[in-house]
Amino acid sequence: MSALTFSLIHRPDQRVDMSPLVCHLLKDMEPAQIAAIELQSGKRKIRVDELFKVSGSDTQQIVIENSFGKLDFIGKELDGGSIKVEGDAGAYLGLGMKSGEISVMGNAGIYAACEMKKGFVTIAGDAGDFLGAALPGNKMGMKGGTVLVKGNVGERAGDHMRRGNILIEGNAGDYCGSRMTAGTIAVMGKTGRNLGYAMRRGTLLLWNQPVLPASFNDCGAHTLAFLPILFTSFRKLNSKFADASVAFNRVQRYAGDMSEIGRGEVLIKIG
């Protein structure tokens, strides 16, 4: 069976809610039924076959071709299966995802992987603000799984994050790890201002020296035993993180945010 492929015919002016096109909702549906699904676009509803040329039949492997940045909610609450986005993804990619895999060949918009529970998201390009964060007003962001971004990410990555890994090969914007409750954010590139703002617990793992807020205290240089295990878990990724030469276990440890409970940590590679 070939992958169920949605090839975008034309780019609509309004944003499109792609949330009905997820593996678990399409399971056991006939091609005609899938083609007749109506997607919300602005104040209109558009049939799938008006927007996409549909081919293939394996509903557990979805490919979205010619995708662009107005296709929102791709993989919303995905529960198993895989979605491959050829092009950019809009906002709320993998919102509340429960399991499965999403890969984006281009960039992703704001709130990618927000409130994600489990699974794996790869973004080959950049990700917008609030990566792995909580929706506005909610208190719990990403609760599990792994997000890998090969480019840069916007501001507030991991805001209110509770569990899981966010791996960023590029740079992270301001307020990275803000209000984090737990979990790990690893940034190979540079980080912006107000790193770890109001973080309670969790780990920010950095390759480069950041500008730390005054509310982080130096705990000294340490060799930490859990780091080799963490890096070993990255080996299976198609990423710079899998490269043994980027791994380290010697870090400068800063604890914070002391304006909060201060149980979080920023670990910065030494040497």
Partner 1 sequence: MIINGVAIDATFAEAFPMKATRAIITAQNEKWAMISAQAMTGFATSVIACGCEAGIERVLDPSETPDGRPGVSVMIFAMGGKGLAKQLETRAGQCVLTSPTSALFAGIESDKKIPLGKNLRYFGDGFQVSKLIDGKRYWRIPVMDGEFLAEATTGQVDAVGGGNFLVLAKSQPQALAACEAAIEAMRKIPNVIMPFPGGVVRSGSKVGSKYKALGASTNDAFCPTLKGMTRTDLSPEVESVMEIVIDGLTKEDIDKAMRVGIQAVCDLGAENGITRISAGNYGGKLGPFHFHLQEIMA
Q: Which parts of this chain interact with partner 1 (CB under 8 A)?
A: 144, 163-164, 182, 184, 201, 203, 222-226, 228-230, 232-233, 263, 265
Q: Which is nearer to partner 1, 178 or 181 (CB)?
A: 181
Cα 85 to Cα 93: distance, rounded to the nearest angstrom = 10
The Cα 243–Cα 250 span in angstroms is: 17
Q: Closer to partner 1 by CB, 84 or 143: give it.
A: 143
User: How far apart are CB 162 and partner 1 at their closest, in Å?
Assistant: 11
Smallest separation, CB 12 to partner 1 (Å): 40
> Please, which residue, 24 or 263, has the CB nearer to partner 1?
263
Judged by beta carbon, residue 15 or residue 263, the one nearer partner 1 is 263
Q: Is 218 exposed, middle or buried (0-12, 13-18, 19+ CB in 10 A)?
A: exposed
CB of 39 to partner 1, least distance (A): 35
Q: How far apart are CA 263 and CA 56, in angstroms?
A: 50
DSSP alpha helix (H) spans, the chain? 23-26, 31-35, 48-51, 226-234
Smallest gap from residue 203 Cβ to partner 1 (A): 8
**Of the two residues 22 and 166, which places its CB atom closer to partner 1 in the complex?**
166
Q: Kindly state the smallest distance separating residue 225's Cβ from partner 1, in Å.
A: 4
CA 21 to chain centre: 19
Q: Which of 196, 189, 205, 187 is nearest to 252 (CA)?
A: 205
Amino acid identity of 37? I
